[in-house]
Amino acid sequence: MPLNKQAILDDIFRNAPLLNSEDDCAENVVIPLLLRLGYDRNQIGRKVSITGTSGHRFRKQADIVIYIRERPSLVVETKRIQNRLKEEDVNQALSYAQLLDPPSPIAILTNGRDWEVYYLDRDDIGGLESVPEPQELESTILTVSSTAIPIEKRQAAERLLVTIENKGDLETAFRECRKELAKEGLIAESAFDELTKILTCKFSEEKKFAEGLAPNRFTSQWLLGSGPLAALQQMFSEAKQTFNVFPTGTQIQIRNNETVEKIVRELEPFGLYGFKTPLGLAGAGGDVVGSVYEAFLTGTLRGDLGQYLTPRQLVEFMVEIADIQIGEKVLDLSCGSGGFLIRAFINVRKKIRSLNSEQDEKDRLVSELVTNNLWGIEINPRLATLCRINMILHGDGYEHIYTGDSIREDFFENTDGRRTDFSRIEQNNVAKFDVILINPPFNIPYEDSTSLNRYNLGRGKAAQGSDYLILERAIRLLKPETGRLLVILPHGVASGVSETEIRNFVKTNTHIHACISLPVGAFKPFGGSNARTCVLYLKKAAKDDRKKRFLAQAERVGYDITSKYYRETDFNDLPFIAEAYHSVKHNLS
């Protein structure tokens, strides 16, 4: 009879000391659990070195490896209990499993409380109860295919680990690329555009190589045999056909072979395309490259574009408490580089892969998620392109990413030329959205009467802020009774006298389900703003004054709020607030 692993874990926590680090999680939670499942201490390896296909030994070691008959059979990657498990962590654990000799068929990711069990040859994801007992693991090892993992997949895992472990080096590489582009007269927006094209070429080449379709031409060695600029232009021409994210006629603007050589040399060691996992594509194009790329963007385009970026910690928090369900339709009316949509994509896809269903049904649900359930509108064409590329890097899902002004316009067009009329969606309750997540651009004044007259909050006024107009449009687009909206707004909406009209409008048209106050400076690294903000969680439910609300205040958000530069810290109240919310949410309605 299988052991009750949750009961064992609960007992371990009752006797565990304070857990402040990954090592605390490994020594005081994971190893005690493994021992109580029946593993011998001598089967458990700690801090196991990982060596890549090129002989490169990584700085970071696998936290725990379980050996069966001296063969590595299970990798456990541990995280601090205060941290949520991220896509980057999954990629790291699976890369370790593939690079062990021989590869381990199972990888586990845990922070002690949350457990995710992954298999190299399967698409489903298990939880704590799926952690194998010794006899079960030995049976798995005896039946696992003896076929070696293709060298292309192992090399992809190695590039991915290089990227994850050397995030600072990647940031430096981006800065060097920016310097080279500046020598060509490509600065600010132009440099951003060119880097986007170049990274698309790199992703395309790595993808074809990993799939065994063609050699990877994005290498210094390949460029030696041909004109570097001509080769890059050819790569981009092919990548444009594969990934339809650029406007017609877009071309590489670099003019010199030397610039191409230097940029390829800077970016070559890092990996964008990884390998297939239950979450889709394991690639540093996810958390790592995405966060560094956005740091590049805010560093060079601070101001007009900076206002569209939302800190990863806030994105994760808002998507987590939104608790998006399989089949729900999600929208971001100012989607920027796609942070909310990507996190929604990852979270829902994880739920699908965790289902106890047939593989065909899981694949159908993922396809539905990709093609129908992720919608975004972005006014800035550059950020709309970046959003589409980010979605591709995570495994597709850019079908409904539109460029346009979500306040002024009704008709929006995607890269396939397909137009969607949002005024018709507003009039069709079935077509409306289950979940809307937005961090609207703050207080950009709309002054033309045509735009203002479209909104209750604008009619009869000389001007109204963009954040409030987007708020009203979002409320219109929510499904009646069940729709929910999570939005970042000025804190005055929650309590300020000057925002009484806005607050009354919100209370008339929605139920305020939760309000989480954010500290002053939460957006300082993302445009220099010291404005105090809050996260409002609104439900399009029938008005009922007896309903309770969840209120919380975050003082620490996982990054330095005193600096104009984005620097992560170990202190973050948001995961604890999310946990507190989930423990009481059923009592709020």
What's the pLDDT tens digit per position in 439-472?
998 878 999 999 999 999 999 999 999 999 999 9
Taken in order 176, 179, 184, 188, is the CA torsion positive or negative?
positive
H, E, C per residue of 413-478: ECCCCCEEEHHHHHCCHHHCECEEEECCCCCCEECCHHHHCCCCCCCCCCCEEHHHHHHHHHHHHE
pLDDT higher than threshold 70 for residue 14: yes
Residues 312, 255, single domain; the answer is no
Burial class (CB in 10 A: 0-12, 13-18, 19+), 152: middle
13 versus 279: the higher-pLDDT residue is: 13
Residues 143, 261, single domain; the answer is no
pLDDT value of position 155: 81
- Residue whose pair of structure tokens reads 């909050």 in the numeric block: 457
Q: What is the CATH number of the domain that holds 318?
A: 3.40.50.150
Are the C-beta atoms of residues 535 and 512 closer than 8 Å to each other? no
Read off the pTM.
0.86
| Euclidean distance between CA atoms 45 and 97, whole angstroms | 14
> Vertex 307, ends 304 and 308: CA angle to 5°?
105
Residues 223, 270, single domain; the answer is yes
| 293 in any annotated domain | no
Taken in order 536, 441, 468, 482, is the CA torsion positive or negative?
negative
Choosing from 132, 149, 166, the residue where a domain stops is: 149
| 295 in any annotated domain | no
Residues 114, 174, single domain; the answer is no
Q: Of the ranges 15-19, 25-29, 72-76, 553-557, which one carries the lowest mean pLDDT score?
A: 15-19
Strands 533-539 and 511-517, sheet pairing: antiparallel
Choosing from 91, 114, 149, the residue where a domain stops is: 149
| 287 in any annotated domain | no
H, E, C per residue of 246-284: CCCCCCCCCCCHHHHHHHHHHHCCCCCCCEEECCEEECC
Q: What pLDDT band is residue 305 in, cutting at 50, 70 and 90?
A: very low
Choosing from 121, 149, 177, the residue where a domain stops is: 149
Residues 61, 112, single domain; the answer is yes
Q: How many domains does the chain have?
A: 3
Residues 314, 239, single domain; the answer is no
Phi, then psi, of 34 in degrees rounded to 5: -60, -40
Q: What pLDDT band is residue 304 in, cutting at 50, 70 and 90?
A: very low
Q: Of the ranges 61-65, 195-199, 276-280, which one carries the lowest mean pLDDT score?
A: 276-280
| 97 in any annotated domain | yes
Residues 14, 42, single domain; the answer is yes
Burial class (CB in 10 A: 0-12, 13-18, 19+), 42: exposed
| Euclidean distance between CA atoms 577 and 583, whole angstroms | 10
| 267 in any annotated domain | yes
Q: Of the ranges 45-54, 81-90, 141-150, which one carries the lowest mean pLDDT score?
A: 141-150
pLDDT higher than threshold 90 for residue 263: yes
Residues 143, 162, single domain; the answer is no
Write the pLDDT tens digit of every residue in 518-560. 999 998 887 767 888 999 999 997 666 677 899 999 999 998 9
Residues 311, 460, single domain; the answer is yes
Write the pLDDT tens digit of every residue in 322-375. 999 999 999 999 998 888 998 999 899 889 988 988 889 988 998 999 889 999
Provide the domain limits for residue 414: 302-587
pLDDT higher than threshold 90 for residue 90: no
pLDDT value of position 425: 96
| 290 in any annotated domain | no
Q: What is the CATH number of the domain that holds 35?
A: 3.90.1570.30
Cα 4 from chain centre? 33
SS3 106: strand
Write the pLDDT tens digit of every residue in 213-261. 888 999 988 887 778 999 999 999 999 988 888 887 899 999 999 999 9
| 291 in any annotated domain | no
Residues 380, 397, single domain; the answer is yes
pLDDT value of position 381: 85
Residues 259, 334, single domain; the answer is no
Residues 329, 267, single domain; the answer is no
Alpha-carbon distances of 73 from 36, 40, 64, 128, rounded to whole Å? 18, 14, 11, 17
| 424 in any annotated domain | yes
